[in-house]
Amino acid sequence: MRGGGAESTLCNIIGYNDDEFSHYVYYLGFILLNVSLISMEYSMPRRQQASRKDMFCILLNSLLIGLGIFANLAFEEIGLDLVFFGSVLLLALALLLFGKRSVYELPIISYFAASYSLGVIGTLLYKLL
């Protein structure tokens, strides 16, 4: 015999861990990884700047990632995704625009700024129009 109270409580616990808690853990790791990469690049100067060819390849790849971010945000229910992607975008843009280094010294931050700009801003425009 199945007890309705015990089964529904267990299902609620599993549902919470699968649907909510796992997302919090994922996004915490996402933020920590991206912020650590951004801060590491900004705090440790490069010995050699990226070339124009390197930057072209980085921006070309960021186009693909930006389209993936757009697909994730625009065609699914938006939850915390937009907040976390937007926070990484704002950090990368702030360091690029207000920092003391050139884009060629910060290829990783440029990558984040380009891909997340396309994904987040594209999603906002898509949802508003």
Where are the chain's structural domains?
4-128
Concatenate the DSSP letters of all residues of 46-67 into one string: -SSPPPHHHHHHHHHHHHHHHH
Please answer whether residues 106 and 99 qualify as being in contact, where contact means their C-beta atoms are separated by less than 8 angstroms. yes
Q: Which residue has the higher pLDDT, 15 or 124?
A: 124
Does the pLDDT of residue 122 top 60, yes or no? yes
Quick one: which H or E segment has residue 118? helix 107-128
Task: Name which residue leads in pLDDT, 20 or 114.
Answer: 114
How much is the pLDDT for 19? 78
The pLDDT tens digits of the residues spanning 3-49 come to: 455 568 888 888 888 878 888 898 899 999 999 999 999 999 788 99
Q: What is the DSSP letter of 104?
A: G
Number of other CB atoms surrounding residue 27 within 10 Å: 17
- Residue appearing with tokens 């843009």: 93
Q: For residue 9, what is the enclosing H or E element?
A: helix 4-16
What is the predicted pLDDT for the residue at 68?
Answer: 94
Residue 75: strand, helix, or coil: coil
pLDDT tens-digit map of 77-103: 877 788 889 999 999 999 999 988 889
Residue 55's pLDDT is 96
Confidence grade of residue 1 (pLDDT, cut at 50, 70, 90): very low
What pLDDT score was predicted for residue 110?
A: 95
Which residue would you say has higher pLDDT here, 10 or 57?
A: 57
Structure tokens at 26: 């994922």
